[in-house]
Amino acid sequence: MKYRVNRKTGDRISEIGIGSSYMYEAGMEEAVKALRRAVEGGINYFDLAAGHGDSFPIYGEALHAYRDRIFYQIHFGADYTKGDYGWSLDLDTVKHSVEKMLKELRTDYIDYGFIHCQDEISDWETYKKNGIYDYILELKEKGIVRHIGLSSHTPSVINRILDEADVDMLMFSVNPAYDFGKGQYAYGETEERESIYRRCEKEGIGISVMKPFSGGQLLSDSTSPLGKALTIPQCLKYILDKPGVLTALPGAQSVAQVEELLSYYDKSDEELDYSVLSTLEPVRTSGRCVYCNHCKPCPMGIDIGLVNKYYDLAQAGDQMAVEHYRTLEKNASDCVQCGHCDSRCPFSVHQSERMQVIREYMENA
């Protein structure tokens, strides 16, 4: 397992976490085994926007002995009064739900208390008016909530809330379909979505990723919004290449499914390669560096994907990205215009020309 640090909180978070939506369907015995195998495999981050209230006793049984080694993100607005997942903006309902979740999880604190499911500006206005956000802040003052998170599918709403609230972690729907306008939650244009990644990277806000496989649709030719199936490793690599992303949160209902997620680190470069996107969405992907590193190896040793990422972040106002660029052993100034990267880029990016642009920009940044 590899880990990434949330710069705002200092938490060291596993690149692969677990989303809890349908864990309860496995039943207590199998789900407990799966969750404990996840921890044994190095997974330490768990989302608890569960599909049913039965999930919480399962997590309590499976992970209470590991509580000091793991992180929970718990959602203020997820309501399990009737068993199945519901959504509520009523303060008393939220308080009751949170108290019930803590009891069943066998814990007395929340690592990341989430402003839950804000897809419209009106949701946020009601959330504040009804006192739910103030309740999270109150629990944070008491030490019950350690950090504050935000869950949303909508870039414009995310930007508004990040302007008004001190958010440490964003839960955002990220996958190769949504980023190119395909699928149920493909909210926002490609550039608008990418600006969220850059903003989070710039401000040190971690991103935990929901719907990494578009609810499983991306894994089948017959259901993929792109018209062709991608593999689990391809989706995970795509997500983890995005600026700001700390962890992807796929679901798992068995030890075998957890093992499949953990096997990500055993995959070859070919198995991780998602350049097939250039053939599935040629218009949207053409000329756009997605940091896939398909251009490697550079004869001069330049990490072209990383140079591009720092440049994009610098353009968004991230001075730290400029400093990181300047500490690279090789950067755009080392490009000899051999064209090797141009011939290898599946997204038709003229990287040799871009290296000149980046060199000039960074020299004057």
- Within-domain flag for 278: no
The secondary structure element, H or E, covering residue 343 is helix 340-344
What's the number of domains the chain is made of?
2
Helix, strand, or coil here: 32?
helix
Which of these, 50, 4, 81, 29, lies nearest to 255 by C-alpha position? 29
Backbone angles phi, psi at 46, to 5 degrees: -135, 125
Q: Once rounded to an integer, what is the mean pLDDT over residues 167-181?
A: 95
Q: To which residue do tokens 């949303």 refer?
A: 152
Convert 253-262 to b/e letters by CB count within 10 Å (16 or more is b). bebebbeebb
Whether 284 shows a pLDDT value over 80: the answer reads no
Tokens representing 79 are: 């309501």
Q: Is 266 exposed, middle or buried (0-12, 13-18, 19+ CB in 10 A)?
A: exposed
Whether 310 shows a pLDDT value over 70: the answer reads yes
- Within-domain flag for 297: yes
Give the pLDDT band (50/70/90) at residue 106. very high
- Domain final residue, candidates 207, 238, 271: 271
- Write down the mean pLDDT value for the chain: 94
- The answer to whether residues 247 and 349 belong to one domain is no
Q: Once rounded to an integer, what is the mean pLDDT over residues 72-76?
A: 97
- Domain final residue, candidates 271, 298, 318: 271
pLDDT in tens, 10-56: 999 999 999 987 888 889 999 999 999 999 999 999 999 999 999 99
Q: What pLDDT score does 286 carry?
A: 80
Separation CA 354–CA 228 (nearest Å) = 31
Whether 222 shows a pLDDT value over 90: the answer reads yes
Cα angle: 332, vertex 338, 342; to 5 degrees: 80
Q: Once rounded to an integer, what is the mean pLDDT over residues 173-195?
A: 93
Separation CA 127–CA 165 (nearest Å) = 12
Q: What pLDDT score does 290 carry?
A: 87
Top-confidence range, 133-137, 279-283, 352-356 = 133-137
Which of these, 304, 247, 214, 260, lies nearest to 38 by C-alpha position? 260
- Within-domain flag for 277: no
Whether 125 shows a pLDDT value over 70: the answer reads yes
Q: What pLDDT score does 71 carry?
A: 98
Whether 282 shows a pLDDT value over 80: the answer reads no
- The answer to whether residues 196 and 326 belong to one domain is no
Q: What pLDDT score does 302 carry?
A: 95
Q: Max alpha carbon distance in the chain (Å)?
A: 65
Give the pLDDT band (50/70/90) at residue 283. low
* pTM, entire model: 0.90
- The answer to whether residues 321 and 187 belong to one domain is no
- The answer to whether residues 255 and 310 belong to one domain is no
| CA dihedral (163, 197, 179, 16) positive or negative | negative
- The answer to whether residues 192 and 230 belong to one domain is yes
- The answer to whether residues 313 and 198 belong to one domain is no
- The answer to whether residues 120 and 248 belong to one domain is yes
- Within-domain flag for 280: no
- Within-domain flag for 328: yes
Separation CA 224–CA 23 (nearest Å) = 23
Q: Once rounded to an integer, what is the mean pLDDT over residues 250-259?
A: 94
- Within-domain flag for 118: yes
Proportion of the chain above pLDDT 90, given as a percent: 84
Q: To which residue do tokens 């590193």 refer?
A: 293
Q: Name the residue range of residue 315's domain.
A: 286-364
- The answer to whether residues 298 and 216 belong to one domain is no
- The answer to whether residues 149 and 42 belong to one domain is yes
Separation CA 309–CA 287 (nearest Å) = 14
Whether 218 shows a pLDDT value over 90: the answer reads yes
- The answer to whether residues 220 and 176 belong to one domain is yes
Taking CA atoms, 355 is separated from 312, 338, 351, in Å, by: 12, 11, 6
CATH number at residue 16: 3.20.20.100
| Lowest-confidence segment of 91-100, 130-139, 146-155, 306-315 by average pLDDT | 306-315
- The answer to whether residues 31 and 154 belong to one domain is yes
Whether 292 shows a pLDDT value over 90: the answer reads no
β-partners of residue 209 are: 172, 248
Q: Once rounded to an integer, what is the mean pLDDT over residues 148-175?
A: 97
Is the CB of residue 247 less than 8 Å from the CB of residue 38? Answer: no
Whether 287 shows a pLDDT value over 70: the answer reads yes
- Within-domain flag for 97: yes
- The answer to whether residues 31 and 167 belong to one domain is yes
Backbone angles phi, psi at 198, to 5 degrees: -65, -40
Tokens representing 100 are: 């019930």
- Within-domain flag for 281: no
- What region does 220 belong to: left with phi over 0, alpha with psi -120 to 50, or beta? beta
Separation CA 303–CA 328 (nearest Å) = 9
- Domain final residue, candidates 246, 271, 296: 271
Which of these, 177, 256, 255, lies nearest to 213 by C-alpha position? 177
Cα of first residue to Cα of last residue in the chain, in angstroms, is 36
Q: To which residue do tokens 């004869």 refer?
A: 299
